[in-house]
Structure formats: structure tokens, C-alpha cells
Chain A
């Protein structure tokens, strides 16, 4: 939080999707404010949060779009899917119906985002072990079958929340390094070095040197 507004190298766009009541907004609040919001009103359409993290020595700003989970908002929130570099798909481990609907959310995510979008499966409310309705192994298998990353988190205690967002960013950053994510495509969900003039001057020379090296 101490970082200045221009002190980052990349901006990644995230979307958070999943049924209503699974804790999407609480996850966002826990990640951006580091505290739990007990009486969270339901989201109308979409809400927005940001935070700057560090991956492999690079400052990365996450632009997180938290969507409404109600079915009646689904047609409206779909318009925010395109251009997301990462998608966090959330279900509630104490409610099996939210897990059963993941296939539908996954289909939406796959159809409306880029092929290179990193999709992370999150089982929220891991602190309510006594009311567990979906086993870790079952969800883990679903994640592996569909090529998703997976973690169980608790927005209440903060367990694994940080890791979920960070691991997604690491995966995206790795895709950038591999070249599988085209950094210059307008719909990649990634902005690169949107820096102030001073920074531009500094970065302008480095690429030239690299060019000479080639």
C-alpha cells in the first residue's frame, strides 16, 4: 500500500465470478483492505477494487472487477468478462449448489474471455469446516480435469486469500514471459508500463540496448 500511483510495471485485469452469497465481495474486500466485512450488501452489477502486489521483483497492479452473482444480473455482468487476464471462480464449500453451478460459470468464462485467461477456482468459507458440503478432493479433481488452479480460502480469516490472487498473478506473469500471452494485444487484460514521462525516458533506453545486444 505504500507504493506510489506510478510505481508498477504491469496492470492485470481480474474478474470475480460465482453464485450469489459465496463471498466474492468479501474476498475482494479482504484482499484490498485486509479485513472482513461481515454485513456485506449484495453487489449491483459490478464493483471495482485495486491493489499493488509484487511478482518476481515486478510491481503489478491488480484491477479487480467484482461481479454480481444473482442470475438476473448475469446478462449485464457478462459485458465485463472480455479482456480479463485472470478469472477467479468462487463457490461456497458449505453449499453444494454453488459448486454444482461451476460448470455454467466456467462455460461463460471460457466463451467470453481470451483463451489465455488464467482461471482460478476458489472454495470460500474454509473456516466453516463443520458445515462442509463439498470435499477438497472432489473440487481438486474438478479443477484438474478443467485445467484450473485451485485453493480453499476463507474471506473471514484471510486464509489463502492472498495466495489465490498472487498465484493467479504469477501464472499470468509466467505466460507473459513464455510469450503465450501477447502483451501487445489490446484485449489481453494486461497493460505494460503505463508510466509517467520520467519513467518513459528511463525505459526508452533499455530496450534500445537490448536491441543492440541482439
Chain B
């Protein structure tokens, strides 16, 4: 605890702590039964006294010697202040509290429009992009197929009451498939994620309905027909454009923008003529999809909405049918209500089909569409029933979609094979080619599960450690809206936050929150099938530590909360998961209001950010490392070491700059400054390299001019060649010495010969001397 005491002295808001320490006596009296107003008054008086001078502050330091009173008082004051903020604040916070955007499960990533691009990039970098793309295509297909089948069923309802039974059957299947695709918790998460788009969805549905109503007003009761060859051409176009849609699922946003002109053209064409309902069928759908950048998100929302819409349509249709039977209406009269039902249903379905229709509009272009309408006007006199054609078209388009997905991902010679085994392929084939002739909307569910398992087993963990995930995390953390939940539910971020809380001397507060959170989570995971007695024992451990009058780490909760916790623990049948919910949320608010803002502007947060950024940058340098490894291990290690030194200095400077910043906007600019620092640091390295190269080159010229050209192109090899040169130098010196010796001998011989030339008898004596 001496460590804790010193930290109290060093924390930047030490004055704040002293101020909080002052109300010690009033709180103790409140335990004895004093009224709250009385203690508040005294606290205020003591607060003003503290400001009078240092001597009071020093005197106030004495009560701080005990850890327990300080912790109590700090929280008592904060709790009273925060209690006034009321429940609405808690409600606002609750949607964000249960998960972190920095760490998502695989299914959460696949449903998150922000995280999905990172994941797709990662999968493609691993040459496994087909898995995630298949999963997205299959999901779109399933939703679209159900929508079109419902549309077809609504048409059939006009003919037979028996069809209503099959409609009820088909409406229950979507619910089942939705449940099977994700757990209840994840469904809830998806609902939260798509809350805003759902609102937009509700608004946008009105516009297409209005367009549809206007279009219908212009229609005549006369029967309308299509030529026999028309459906074939249309189906061909559908298939072509479906493929184009599937190739780029994530890029629906540009499509939405570029499709604006066709809307105007379509509306004009519709209002000018009383053509068949096919144009009005596509234009409202196109309008739907234009307002949604993400088809997947729309599909998620469309499915549940469509279910409700289905029930309404069934009721309305029953009523209409009753009316028809009473009036004994003729064929012509009954056809109009069918058309209205059909188009109304299509308009209200925000489904994958609308995404594909949108793509059709984009690809066909303005001219082609005009030509199509003219053809339909010409063939208006045909006697075929429009309703049947529409139904047939819908069913055949489902088949086309299924076949195209199969050919692309599943078949033996698929261009983007997901490599499933024969059993799974046969199962899928049998569902596509059913005896009845209809495609099972869930024909790809088994393959989706397989692909999901493959991605989870082989790629998900690597993704979490990859640069792409780091980039996504950086985007979240620098978006300007970081929530406490993002930090608390991410294990890496919590590492830095815990260090911060310890520096603030608030570890017990945070530790209680973690314990209560874990208590709640593990009981919730048990789904109500836990041992009540055991849960009660767990709860008593927390109570004895934090709430009891003899608590080992009291936090200063008031009697009201303590009594509530006691009753929750002693509940018959054992405590519920939310046993500590109230104190836990209270502590969370204290952390969020007092400590979290400081954390976001502190050293540790920017340390965390800078490390994420460095991870991304190091990956960018990775290709260069590969080249260096080809050279030699020694130089490679040297280079890596050099980079390491650079990044350390980057971290140091980041820390320095972070300390100088007080505003968040400045902090955001500082991140840009960090990037500039990196750029600046790169220059010295370049200069350093040039200098070394120059020196080496100069050295070569001085000693041996003939070797200069060999060394310039490859600076990294200078050291090795230098050592070789040194060896050569030694050899040459030896050679020169030998030559010098030989020359000396020749000179000696000449001189000796001249000197002793006159005396013949002495020659034999001179020769031995020379030899010696």
C-alpha cells in the first residue's frame, strides 16, 4: 500500500482527491443516522475551507493515510452526483455496453458493413476470397428466393384456398432459417447494428408505394399480355446481370448512385403509357434498392418485415376474395385486384431481388429500357395472362440464380471453387433439381455452414492478428466516437486501460466492475440452468469483498444499494444474472464520466494507437525485408535492428507530443503529425546510406583505381569486398618484396663482378659469400 500512497501524491488530480477526502467526518456521521442534507452542508463548508490555503491541504493529507476512507469518500461523492443524472442516461448507454467494436465474432464481421471490407481484403490476400464471397452470395440468394416465392404464392392465392396452407408453411421457414443462421445474441446484435437503416427503410417504403399507386391509376382494366419470346430474352438478361451483381457484392453503393437517371426515365415512361405491369414491377424495386448502399443489410431487415407484410396481405386477400365471391365478378374484374396485390407485395419487400433489379437497370441503360417498353406496347394485344407470366418469371429467376452460384463456386470445374466434398455437392444438387421442379431456397445452407466453419478454423484467427484487422481497429479508434465498451470488451485495449486505472488509483472500482460483469456473463451463458446455491456463494464472495459492512475493499455504496443487493442475493432459487446490475452500471458510469475521458487524452491511449499504427507500417516494410534476406543474414539483422531503433524513437516522440495535447481535435491532428514524423525520420536513413556509399567509393579510388567500378552498384556488399581487398593487398605486398629482393641480388652481382674482375684466383671465394 505504500505504493498506492505515493501514486495518490503523483496523480495529476491530487487536489481533487484532497477535496474529496475532506468530507470524511460527515459521511461517518451519516452512517450513524445523520440526514443527507446535513452532511451535504458540512461537505460544502469543508470544501470551501480547503481552498483557503496550503496549511489546510497539508492538514487534510493526514486522513489520506488510510486507503479505506479515501476510496469510500471518493465514490460516495461521485455516486451522489451521478444519481441525479437519472435513468435516461443509462438507457442511452445500454445499447453500446455489451460488446466492443474492436473485437467481433466471425458472424459479426460478416454482418458489419465497416468490418467486412477489411475481412474481404484479408481473405483475398490469402487467396481465399471465394469463401467469403460465396457466403455473401448464398445469403443474398436465400433471402431473395424466399421473397420471390412469397410473391408467387400471393398470386396463387387468388386461385385456390389450398394455396394459403402452403403460404403459411413457407412463411414459417424464413423464421427458422433466420434462427439457424445466427444465435439469439447475434440476432440482437444485428438488430442494434441495423437500427438506423431500418428507420430509413420504413421511410423509403412510402415513396415506392406512392409511385406504384400513381402507376396503377393509369392502368386500364383490359387484359395485358407478353409475347412468348419475351420471357426468354428477359431471363437471359437476368442471368447475365445476376453474375455481374455477384462479382461485386460490396460495391452496391456506387451502383445506387449511378442508377438515379433510370429512375426518372422509368417514372416518365410509366406515367405516359398504359403498358403492362412489368415496368411498374421493376421501377419500384429499383427505387427501393437505390436508397440502400448495402444489399445485405437491407435483406436482413427485409425478411422480418416481409413476414409481417405477408400476414397483412393474407388478411386483405381473404377479404377481397370474400367480396369477389359475393359479387360473382367476371374474369376481367378479378384480374385487376391480383395485379395490385402482386405489385404492392413486391414494393414492400426490401429484398435481394431489388438489388438485382437495381443492377439490371444500371447495366441495361436508358436506351435499352426504352426499347423494351416499346416492344411491350406493341404486343399489348396478346391473350396470355400477365399474372401467370410474372409467377413463372419469378420461379425461373430463382433457378437461374441457383445455377449461376452453383456453377461459380460448387461445381467440379468452378472458377471460384470452395472445394466441398462430393457428398455435400450431391446434396446441394438434389435440392436445386427437385422433382417438383422448384429450387429449395435453403439449398445452399449446408454449404454456407461448411464455408463458415472453414473461415473460422483456418482464417479467422489469422485475420485477428493481421494488418487488415489493425487498420479496422485504427479506423474505429480514430473515428471520433470511441465508447467505453470498445475498450472494456477488447482484451488488448483493456491491458492499457487497466494500467491507466492503476495510475489513477481506481483499480478496486474497475476490478469490481470486471467481477460483476464476469458473474453476470457466466450465469447468462448457463441459460438459466445453473446451480442456485453455487451462484449464491459466488455472489456472497463479491458481497463480502465490496458491499459488506466489514468489506475488505469497500467502494462506498450507500445503504440503499447494499440492501437491494442483499435481497437479490437471498432471492429464493438463487440470485439472477442481474444480481449486481445496479451497482455495476453505477460504477460503469463513474468510470465513463471521470476516468474514460482522461484515458482518451492520456499517454497510454496514444501509446496503444501508435503501436497499432506501427504494426501496419512494419507490414508495409515487409517486402523489403524479404529482399534483404536474399542478400545475407548479417545485413538483414542489421537492417531490422535499425528499423527497430527508428520505431522506438517514433514511439518516444509520439508520447512526447501526446503529453502536450489537451483537445481531442488537436489529438486527431497529432495523429497526422505522427505520420509526418515518420516521413521526416526516413530522410536521415537515406542520407546515412548515401554518405556511407560515398565514403566507400572514395576509399577505393585512393588505393586502387582499377576496382572502383565494381563496388558502386551494390552498397550492401561493400563490407565483404573490402575484406577481400585487404587480403589481396597482403599478397601483393609479398610479391613486391620478392621482386625487390631479386633486384637487390642482381645489383649485388654486378657490383661484385666489377670489383673482383682483375683477380682471377679469388673468384671461387666470392661466389659462396653471395649465396650466403
Contacts and interface: CB of A to CB of B under 8 A. Distances in A.
Interface of A: 1-6, 11, 13, 41-42, 44-48, 50, 63, 68, 72-73, 75-77, 79-83, 111, 114, 179, 182-187, 189, 191-197, 200-201, 203-204, 207-208, 210-211, 214
B656 A204 contact: yes
A3 B6 CA distance: 9
Contact of A200 (B6, B655, B685): B655
Nearest to B470: A186
Interface in B481-495: 489, 491-492, 494-495
B185 interface: no
B641 interface: yes
A204 B648 CA distance: 9
B659 A72 contact: no
B515 A45 contact: yes
A80 B491 contact: yes
B107 interface: no
B517 interface: yes
Closest 8 CB pairs of A and B: A45-B518, A207-B649, A197-B659, A200-B656, A184-B614, A186-B611, A82-B491, A83-B492
Nearest to B100: A79
A44 B542 contact: yes
A139 to B, nearest CB: 29
B488 to A, nearest CB: 11
Given A72-B522, A76-B518, A44 B538 contact: yes
28 contacts: A2-B2, A5-B10, A44-B538, A44-B541, A46-B515, A47-B511, A48-B511, A50-B502, A68-B518, A73-B518, A75-B522, A79-B491, A183-B648, A184-B611, A184-B615, A184-B647, A184-B651, A185-B614, A185-B615, A186-B611, A189-B495, A194-B607, A200-B659, A203-B652, A204-B652, A207-B649, A211-B649, A211-B684
Interface in B455-474: 461, 465, 470, 473
A41 to B, nearest CB: 5
Counting chain A CB atoms within 10 Å of each CB, the highest count among B470, B603, B618 belongs to B603
Interface residues of B, number: 66
Given A6-B10, A197-B659, 16 more contacts: A4-B6, A5-B7, A5-B503, A13-B495, A47-B511, A114-B465, A182-B615, A184-B644, A186-B612, A197-B660, A200-B655, A200-B656, A204-B652, A207-B646, A211-B646, A214-B688
B608 interface: yes
Contacts of B611: 184-186
B558 interface: no
Nearest to B608: A186
Contacts of A192: 648, 651
Contacts, number: 153
Contacts of A193: 648, 651-652, 655
Given A1-B2, A47-B511, A184-B611, A42 B492 contact: no
B35 to A, nearest CB: 36
Contacts of A185: 611, 614-615
B527 to A, nearest CB: 12
Nearest to A2: B2
Contacts of B538: 42, 44
Contacts of A186: 470, 473, 492, 608, 611-612, 615
B521 A76 contact: yes
Contacts of B515: 44-47
A196 B519 contact: no
B526 interface: yes
Counting chain A CB atoms within 10 Å of each CB, the highest count among B7, B611, B642, B688 belongs to B611
Contacts of A197: 655-656, 659-660
A211 B660 CA distance: 25
Contacts of B656: 197, 200-201, 204
B368 interface: no
Interface of B: 2-3, 6-7, 10, 461, 465, 470, 473, 489, 491-492, 494-496, 498-499, 502-503, 507, 510-511, 514-515, 517-519, 521-522, 525-526, 530, 538, 541-542, 544-545, 603-604, 607-608, 611-612, 614-615, 618, 637, 640-642, 644-649, 651-653, 655-656, 659-660, 684-685, 688
A76 B495 contact: no
Contacts of A214: 642, 645, 688
Counting chain B CB atoms within 10 Å of each CB, the highest count among A42, A186, A203 belongs to A186
A32 to B, nearest CB: 10
A72 B495 contact: no
A46 B517 CA distance: 10
Nearest to B502: A50
B607 A83 contact: no
Given A47-B511, A47-B515, A197-B656, A183 B498 contact: no
A184 B648 CA distance: 8
Contact of A211 (B514, B541, B645): B645
Given A193-B655, A196-B659, A214-B688, A82 B518 contact: no
Nearest to B618: A184
Given A184-B618, A185-B615, A72 B530 contact: yes
A114 B461 CA distance: 11
A33 to B, nearest CB: 9
Nearest to B491: A82
Contacts of B495: 13, 63, 83, 189, 191
Nearest to B7: A5
Contacts of A208: 649
Nearest to A85: B495
A201 B541 CA distance: 46
A67 B688 CA distance: 50
Given A79-B491, A192-B648, A208-B649, A41 B545 contact: yes
A29 to B, nearest CB: 12
Contacts of B2: 1-2
Nearest to A198: B659
Contact of A194 (B465, B499, B526, B530): B499
B522 A73 contact: yes
B499 A63 contact: yes
Contacts of A48: 498, 507, 510-511, 514
A187 B652 CA distance: 19
Given A47-B511, A207-B648, A207-B649, A187 B518 contact: no
